[in-house]
Chain A
Amino acid sequence: MNGRIIAAAALAIGILAPFTGIYTVFLMKALCFALFACAFNLLLGFAGLLSFGHAAFFGLAAYVTAHGVKEWGLTPELGILAGTAVAAVLGLGFGGLAIRRQGIYFAMITLALSQMVYFFCLQAPFTHGEDGIQAVPRGYLFGFIDLMQPMNMYYTVLAIFVFGFAVIHRAVHSPFGQVLKAIRDNEQRAISLGYRTERYKLAAFVLSAALAGMAGSTKALVFQLASLTDAHWHASGEVVLMTLLGGMGTIAGPAVGAFLVVAIQNYLAESGAWVTIIQGVIFIIVVLSFRRGILGEVVGFVAKRKATPAAKPLEPRPASAITGE
């Protein structure tokens, strides 16, 4: 029940935020990355799979949407759907190849595949190489909502985020999510109960890729730009950072982490190279002292006070669980 109140409060903040004078482009960027991180965490936090190639979905979907909207005249909703669909198909390919390996090997395969996507984005004619696809029209949502109006764009992004977040929330709390958590906790045991675990991991991978793509597509409309930055492995690393900062295995933690990272990048932008150093220091502090991430620690603290063990967040897993023996 508490969760509902917090969710309602968060939604209210989301609705009211533009009236506080906070720059809406910052909010929209943060929401896009928040969705990206939550989608990534569906895989890391709930299926126990560390993908190091999620930028491929985020970046390629952005290109597809930008190209579709600009060159083919797609409406914004169709552009986003197209980007999401392409990311899902790409996820099926990536997942199909990577899912058979565990731990570090899984991470390396996803990284290698995403590098291939990066070079595709660099070389393919429609992406315009280093320039990216610029001046992407935002268009009219459903034919009549003018997205050039900042408020319209903002609430569209908020709605997309809420939708994506709701999908993840439901997936985690579904029969499918139960099996996924069981696989994360003990895959061998899940197999011995008769589950063909690779299929579940693949389904989670595709879902995660599709939502990461939706985030990338949305970002392309917000910035009216699709560029190599979003497909670069830096973006893959950043999403890991956001997720760990916020708390993997908590549904909303990655969103908190994303807001934090985007805020640091935005508001400390004038300090130049210091941004990465500050980010690095914060990351080290969090990993060393609150291993469950910011939200993970908060949830853990509340659960301890109420002593309701069911609300307990994930214990950090031993290194062997990440690296796969």
Chain B
Amino acid sequence: MDDDIILETSGLTKEFKGFFAVHSVALRVRRGDIHALIGPNGAGKTTCFNLLTKFLAPTEGTIHYKGRDITRANPADIARMGLVRSFQISAVFPNLTALENVRVALQRKLGNSFQFWRSERSLLGLHERAEELLDSVGLADFRDVPAGELAYGRKRALEIATTLALDPEMLLLDEPMAGMAHGDVDRVAQLIRRVSANRTILMVEHNLSVVADLSDRITVLQRGEVLAEGTYAEISSNPEVIEAYMGSGHD
């Protein structure tokens, strides 16, 4: 049973000067699931996310990833363990081309990243894989365009390609649909589904139809605490959730 849990928190708490942004959260993410973290504004989703990705240190509680305690690990280390995050604002390297963006992620495993005396040509071997990844998100035609010049939806696609370059076991997506046009939402949702094939995904997302469509399990946060957890069907029929989050106006 416990083998099925890839990420687990217990008593996870973040206090900002007397304010509990996240309070005693116990989260269990099953291997292979798409798990969504939802909740009204100020529920502590983003704080929770930053705790999991180690960009914030918890006040109390523990985080275990694949049975290892990562409560005190630093963000670069957990990325090396296969737990990779995305960002709410599209996180690309704007002055690098699309290809270079993906390549820089592939490059780390090569182990030559401190070699300032070697030519860039030593990275040519990565181009094939980088192009495959760009192709998989529909960016093949943009390989030499600086990422900063790409349209918003394409930046997000590039970010996903870059993340996939690490071949992570688990992805943490911070509002993957934020600020996206309608057409892009469907495309990225498909992409997430495709990517989830042999991975675990935990995402914070506002777009409820996306959550309903993609998620295996959902955790609802309210005022820093877990309000409910279950499938979309269970969650959406939970009176407390309807009261707190969806409001009476929701169908």
Specify the chain A residue showing the minimal Cβ separation from B78.
A194
Question: Is the beta-carbon distance between A203 and B79 smaller than 8 angstroms?
Answer: no
Give bound CA distance, A174 to B103, whole Å: 13
Q: Are A192 and B116 in contact (CB under 8 A)?
A: no
| CB of B104 within 8 Å of the partner chain | yes
- Picked from A176, A193, A196, A315, the residue with its CB within 8 Å of the CB of B116 is A176
Query: Is A74 close to B, CB under 8 A?
Result: no
Given that A181-B95, A192-B75, A195-B108 are contacting pairs, would A174 and B84 also be in contact in the complex, using a CB cutoff of 8 Å? no
Cα distance A207–B116 when bound, in Å? 10
A170-B76 CB under 8 A given contacts A192-B53, A192-B87, A193-B162? no
Complex contacts, A310 vs chain B, CB 8 Å? 97, 144, 146
Contact between A179 and B113, CB atoms less than 8 A apart: yes
Given contacts A192-B84, A195-B113, A309-B145, contact A182 B119 (CB under 8 A): no
Q: Return the CB mask of A170-184 against B: 1 if under 8 Å, else 0.
A: 110111111101101
Taking a contact as CB atoms under 8 Å apart, the answer to whether B119 and A186 are in contact is no
Asked whether B120 lies within 8 Å of A203 as measured between CB atoms, the reply is: no
Residues B115 and A181 in contact, CB atoms below 8 Å apart: no
Q: Can you give 11 A-B contacts (C-beta < 8 A)? A: A173-B119, A175-B118, A177-B116, A178-B96, A185-B92, A186-B92, A188-B91, A189-B87, A191-B76, A192-B75, A203-B114
Binding site for B on A (CB under 8 A): 167, 170-171, 173-179, 181-182, 184-186, 188-197, 199-200, 203, 207, 309-310, 312, 314-315
B85 in contact (CB, < 8 A): yes
Do B112 and A175 have beta carbons less than 8 Å apart? Answer: yes
Q: How far is the CB of A306 from chain B (nearest CB, A)?
A: 13
Interface centre among B107, B123, B166, by most chain A C-beta atoms within 10 angstroms, is: B107
Q: How many residues of B contact A (CB 8 A)?
A: 44
Contact B79 A170 (CB under 8 A): no
Nearest CB to that of A176 among chain B residues? B116
List 8 additional A-B contacts (Cβ < 8 Å) besides A176-B114, A178-B104, A184-B95. Answer: A174-B118, A175-B123, A176-B116, A181-B96, A193-B84, A194-B76, A309-B149, A315-B94
| Residue from B115, B122, B144 with most neighbouring chain A CB atoms (10 Å) | B115
Complex interface: chain B residues within 8 A of A207 (CB) = 116
Chain A residues, CB < 8 A from B79: 191-194
Q: List the B side residues contacting A189 at CB < 8 Å.
A: 87, 91-93
Asked if residues B116 and A203 are in contact (CB atoms below 8 Å), the reply is yes
Residues of B within 8 A of A186 (CB): 91-94
- Which residues of chain B in 137-152 are interfacial with respect to chain A, using CB atoms and an 8 Å cutoff? 144-146, 148-149
Q: Is the CB of A185 within 8 A of B53?
A: no
Q: List the B side residues contacting A194 at CB < 8 Å.
A: 76-77, 79-80, 84, 108, 166
Tell whether, in the assembled complex, residue B145 and residue A182 are in contact, meaning their CB atoms are under 8 Å apart.
no
Given the contacts A192-B84, A310-B144, A175 and B107 also touching, CB distance less than 8 Å: yes
Chain B residue contacts of A173, Cβ below 8 A: 119-120
Checking B77, B87, B94, B115 against A175 with a beta-carbon cut-off of 8 angstroms, the contacting residue is B115
Residues of chain A within 8 A of B116, CB atoms compared = 170-171, 174, 176-177, 203, 207
> Which of A170, A184, A185 has the most chain B CB atoms closer than 10 A to its own CB?
A185
Of A170, A178, A184, A196, which contacts B100 at CB under 8 A? A178
Q: In the complex, what distance in Å separates the CA atom of A196 from the CA atom of B108?
A: 11
B227 to chain A, nearest CB (A): 29
